Chain A
Amino acid sequence: MVSNEVLIGASGLTKKYDNYTAVNGIDFEVYKGECVGFLGPNGAGKTTTIRMIYCFLLPSAGKLEVAGFDVHTECRKIKAVVGVAPQEDNLDPDFSVLKNLTTYARYFGISKDEALKRAEEQLKFFQLEEKRDAPIMSLSTGMKRRLIFARALINQPQVLLLDEPTTGLDPQARHLVWDEVRYLKKQGVTIILTTHYMDEAEVLCDRILIVDHGRIIEQGTPKQLIEKHVGKEVLELDYDEKLPVLLKEAFQSARIERLGDRLQVFTDQPHGVFEAFLQKHKLQNVMIRNANMEDVFLKLTGRGLREE
């Protein structure tokens, strides 16, 4: 349940390095119990923002409060109530799966018995019981991601930070992670996640912030964003030089985009307009689909490739 209590609040939050600004004066709020997605191309400032939330990086300017604590002065209190699942694999290769969890619990000052109990619970939930005593080196990418997720929950956090939690996972493992996120949301855990998978953001997030070049360029619920920027439906068809003129006539207010040898037509008109058009014109290889977050994302951040 999303409440109106602000759990994370940022204003004018900035992170500057010698010659570039990773995060450029952003303002945002995350409410208790909410799941918020940070979307943006590589280098947009998502990970930097996440890292400032758990005090890994100190902001260059601006205010940032987490669970009522200031990141400048009360890091230890913040870190006690935050769980972090970073993008990169930083599991401890010197220990087994179980020992990774219990050692990590010790850093939180959790007692040995309690740590063991929680570790076993997490292993069960993430279906890693069989790997309990296996060395980290022997785990697949999917198992490592799940263990990192399990480790982030060992302190029973109020706020969970998931930085690309499903990158590189197969569909089965991805759905396991999604189930866990939904379950935690029901438990009232506040979640911030970054992802490059738009379907993931659409399914999991109550609200989405789209960031680019260190700024928040748009925010809203997935539904709001889709309706506002791309309408309800998208018509996709093979490119033909006569088509753009034809389409422009039929859908005056539509936005038409060419992607290689495909055309995409976006319209804010109600369902059914595309069917009528297709009945008049016999065309091959045509698809009408619902508009989605990916359309929004590409519209707002452009199609150019980004380097890290």
Chain B
Amino acid sequence: MVWHRNFDVFLNTLKVNFFPSLLEPILYLAAFGFGLGGFIPSIEGQPYVNFIAPALVAISIMNGSFFECTYASFVRMYFQKTFDAIVATPVSVEEVVAGELLWGATRATINATIVLAVISAASLFTAVPLVSSPLFILVPLIAFFAGLLFSSIAMCFTAAAPNVDFFNYPAFLFVTPMLFLCGTFFPLTSLPIPAQGLAFAVLPLTQVVNVVRGAIVGAVEPILGLSVEAILAYSVVWLVLATVLFFVMGINLMKKRLTS
């Protein structure tokens, strides 16, 4: 029901919500893929544009869900007092927060599907198709669960946020670094070995990039001498465990904030 509320708002504001998310991947693809990519011979034997296309899908998952459950959730909770109004009905605090998280995951799925459509269409202009594995069909599913993870992490920040400016910290110190350092616009192997290990071991976007790249091009960038199977298995397990952990944590922290 909380999900439904947010969905209704999304439909009402389709124009401002849909078109920007359509335009952004086109710009990235044009600027980095076709513009900058023209100066880069190839990465791991594939054209640069093919390297970044799956990463754009992963980034759209992160941005869609993270910003939905930080700024947007905070506005609903703090300024609009929407949560206060809902918890006066039979809906519980836990359900309100769970609804927000599922909605964040849905936004991620919508965004990722749009970007997937954009890169599929862009394949018309590339030497090698940007989407080359039949597993691409799994992208919406991956997007939903990865979106749930970023939503849940975001919700933990929202539970701690004293005001809306607070989100500058996670946005610039957490999201922006991941945007560049998780095997998105250049391979992880370009980083010093310890940084490679760190990005691979702990940063959520690295795992999402790995899994999405695996689904879209059927291969991942080799790192630290590990096999493709080992990398993918690690990323999938990491994502599942982290999603469960942060989902529970996000709900509990929000409950603590809203009921005291």
Contact = CB atoms under 8 A, between A and B. Distances in A.
Contact of A56 (B4, B5, B9, B88): B88
B259 A84 contact: no
Interface in B146-161: none
Contact of B9 (A75, A89, A94): A94
Contacts of A80: 90
Contacts of B82: 90, 92
Nearest to B96: A107
B121 to A, nearest CB: 32
Given A108-B89, A155-B89, A57 B80 contact: no
B128 interface: no
Contacts of A17: 260
A288 interface: no
Contacts of B257: none
The binding surface of chain A is classed by DSSP as loop
A91 B81 CA distance: 8
A86 B84 contact: yes
Nearest to A99: B8
A220 interface: no
B91 interface: yes
Interface in B89-118: 89-92
Nearest to A91: B85
A56 B90 contact: no
A267 to B, nearest CB: 46
Interface in A78-111: 79-80, 82, 84, 86, 88-95, 99, 103-104, 106-109
B8 A57 contact: no
Nearest to B2: A107
A58 B259 contact: yes
A155 B9 CA distance: 23
Contacts of A89: 81
B91 A107 contact: yes
Contacts of B87: 55-56
Contact of A107 (B1, B12, B81, B84): B1
B80 A93 contact: yes
B80 A76 contact: no
A91 B76 CA distance: 11
A75 B91 CA distance: 9
A54 interface: yes
Most buried by A among B5, B9, B85, B89: B89
Contact of B81 (A76, A84, A88): A88
Contacts of B5: 92, 103, 106
**Chain B residues touching A, range:** 20 to 34
A92 B88 contact: no
Given A103-B8, A108-B89, A56 B80 contact: no
A191 B107 CA distance: 42
B9 A95 contact: yes
Interface in B1-16: 1, 4-5, 8-9, 12-13
Nearest to A84: B88
Contact of B88 (A79, A93, A99): A79
Contacts of A86: 84-85, 88
B253 interface: no
A92 B77 CA distance: 11
A76 B87 CA distance: 10
Contacts of B12: 94-95
Interface in B163-215: none
A107 B250 CA distance: 22
B27 to A, nearest CB: 28
B242 interface: no
A124 B86 CA distance: 24
Contacts of A108: 89-90
A108 B88 CA distance: 10
Contacts of B1: 106-107
Contacts of B92: 75-76
- Please name the 8 residue pairs, one residue from A and one from B, whose CB atoms are nearest each other, closest first: A90-B81, A107-B89, A90-B85, A84-B88, A94-B9, A79-B90, A76-B90, A80-B90
Given A76-B92, A90-B85, A95-B12, 10 more contacts: A79-B90, A88-B84, A90-B82, A94-B9, A94-B12, A103-B8, A106-B4, A107-B1, A107-B91, A155-B89
14 contacts: A57-B259, A58-B259, A76-B90, A80-B90, A82-B88, A84-B88, A88-B81, A92-B80, A92-B82, A93-B80, A94-B13, A94-B80, A103-B8, A106-B4
